[in-house]
Amino acid sequence: MTTYPLHTAETAPRASRPILEGAEKALGFVPNLYATMADAPAALQTYTDISTSFDSTSLSPLERQVVLIAASVENNCTYCVAAHSTIAGMQKLDTSVVDALRNAEDPADPKLAALAHFTRVVVEQRGFAGQEEVDRFLDAGYTTGQVLEVVLGVTMKTLSNYTSHLAAQPLDAAFEPQRWERPALAG
């Protein structure tokens, strides 16, 4: 497997340095995902831009984490599930929702269950969600604009999930308490 460097603001390509410095200032550390992506400044910039855009959607903070965790579980991204579980905890979001998602289950809340289900369908079907799936999502109280906001979140996670798969960067100490492995399938 190819080894990717974990850059610091001092070792990163010049275009990545301001992003790494900003992350360190905001979080107190540079997440290993950012340190890896820094090797390709355009990838790191795109990821942070998509993240900012996703944060400005009409989805609530809890709904955004539902999308990000559900997509990461579906893509079997151990790094991103742990990271977003930690972020959800920092935002004091409902732990029962996060726990359900981490177990590849639907949350008890029907609207959030529809969001998680639709996110998984978008990932599984690579965007080819049938009209029945879209209607189910809309019937739960979401809008056509929010269909596209889910796609935005899935796009964000595709970039980070695939980067994590290829780079296999270590889990940050800050995310370690939320370490995750795909649950065994019943059967």
Q: What is the DSSP letter of 128?
A: -
**Architecture, CATH, for domain 59-178:** Up-down Bundle (1.20)
184 vs 95: which has the higher pLDDT: 95
Provide mean pLDDT across the span 39-63: 97
Q: What residue spans define the domains of the chain?
A: 59-178
What pTM does this model have?
0.94
Give the pair of three-digit tokens for residue 7. 């850059």
Q: CA angle, 78 as apex, 1 and 50 as ends, to 5°?
A: 95
Alpha-carbon torsion, ordered 92, 44, 166, 129, to 10 deg? 70
**How far is 98 from 33, CA to CA, in rounded Å?**
21
**Helical segments of the chain, H only:** 17-27, 32-37, 41-55, 61-74, 78-90, 95-102, 110-124, 131-139, 144-167
- Scored b (16 or more CB within 10 A) or e, 175-185 reads beebebeeeee
Q: How high is the pLDDT of residue 162?
A: 97
Provide mean pLDDT across the span 1-8: 87
Q: CA angle, 88 as apex, 176 and 74 as ends, to 5°?
A: 75
Provide mean pLDDT across the span 1-22: 93
pLDDT digits (tens, 9 = 90+) for 128-151: 999 999 999 999 999 999 999 999
179 vs 93: which has the higher pLDDT: 179
Q: How high is the pLDDT of residue 2?
A: 72
Q: How high is the pLDDT of residue 104?
A: 92
182 vs 112: which has the higher pLDDT: 112
Give CB contacts under 8 A, 24+ apart, made by 26-31. 27/174, 29/172, 29/174, 31/83, 31/172, 31/174, 31/175
Query: Is 96 buried (19+), middle (13-18) or exposed (0-12) by CB count in 10 A?
Result: exposed
User: Which residue in 158, 157, 175, 178 sits closest to 29, CA to CA?
Assistant: 175
